[in-house]
Amino acid sequence: MGGVLRRYGPVLTAAILLAVAAWLLLLVVLPQLLMVDFSFRPSLPPSKAGGPEDVYTLRNYATLWTNQIHLAIFLKTIWASSLVTAVTLAVCYPVAFYMAQVAPRRRLPLLVLMLVVPFWINELLRTFAWYIILAFNGPLNALLVGLGLYSEPQRLLGGDAGVIIGMVYVYILFMVFPLMNAMESLDRNQIEAARDLGAGWLRIHRRIVIPHAKPGIAVGCIMTFMLAAGSYAVPALLGGPQSRWFTEVIYNWFFEGGNWNQGAAYAFILLILCIAFILLMMRLFRVGLTDIAK
C-alpha cells in the first residue's frame, strides 16, 4: 500500500481505491445480498409484496431436498465438476511441467502463444466447434470409423461425456497457468540432484515437484471446479435432457419459471458449494490464502 501511495500520489491512490470499492459494492456485494434476501422470501405477486405473507422462510431451500430430480441434478453437477477438475489436472500437469522446467526459454513464448490463441475466440464459438467435432456425422466419428474402432458412428453428444470433454478444453488455461507459475519457481538443481541420486521420474514428481506446486494445484483446481460448476453454455450446447447441469435448473427458475426467489435459493446453494470446495482444497493441499495469492 505504501508503494502504491508513493508511486501514484495521495489523490490518484484515493481515486483508485474509491473506484475499486464502488465496483466491489455495486457489482459484487449488493447483488449477493439481494440474492440472499430473495432466497429467503416466498414468490408472491407484486400486490402481496410487503404483506403478511411476505415473510422470511426456508421453503425455497427445502425444495431442493424434496425435489428428487433437482437433487439428483445437483449431486451429478458436483461429481461431474470434480471429474472435469481431475481430468483437466491430469491433462495440464505434464504440459505445465514441460513448459516450466523442460522447454528451452526461447521456445516458451511460442508455446504460450499456441495455448492462448484459441482462447481469443468467444467461448460460445469454441463450444460450437466441439459440437461440430462430436456430431454424429462429425470428423471425430469419421476418424473412429475410418480407423476401424467402430463399425458405425456413435452418439457423442447429448450425454455427460461430451459435456466433460468440452469443459476440459474450455477451462484448460485456468489450470495450466497456475501450475506453470508454481513450477517455474522450482530450482532445477533439485531435480538434477534427485536424478543423480537414482530417483525415478515418478518419485521426483511425488517427492519434489508436486509438494512444491501445491499452491498452483490448489488454485487450478479451485478455478476449474468453480467455472465448471457454474457453467451454462457448455452443458446447454453439448449436453441433453439426461445430462442437465444445475445451472440450467437455476436458469429455468429465473427466466422460464419466473420464480426468482427459488432461483436465488438454488444459486446461493451453488455458491455455498463453491466456497466449501475452496476450503476443502486449502485443507487438502495445506495452503493458505497467502500461498494461493503467490
Report d(CA 230, CA 123) in Å as an integer. Answer: 14
Report d(CA 189, CA 276) in Å as an integer. Answer: 37
How confident is the model at residue 17, as a pLDDT? 84
Which residue stretches of the chain have pLDDT < 50?
none
Report d(CA 187, CA 63) in Å as an integer. Answer: 53
How confident is the model at residue 255, as a pLDDT? 84
| Cβ contact 237:128 at 8 Å | yes
How confident is the model at residue 294, as a pLDDT? 62
Burial of 253: CB neighbours in 10 Å, binned 0-12, 13-18, 19+: buried
User: pLDDT digit string (tens) for 218-255?
Assistant: 999 999 999 999 998 889 888 877 788 999 999 999 88
Report d(CA 84, CA 222) in Å as an integer. Answer: 12
How confident is the model at residue 94, as a pLDDT? 94
Report d(CA 188, CA 95) in Å as an integer. Answer: 17
| Cβ contact 131:51 at 8 Å | no
Reported as half-sphere exposure (CB side, CA atoms, 13 A), residue 68 has a value of 0
Q: Which three cell numbers stand for residue 224?
A: 476449474
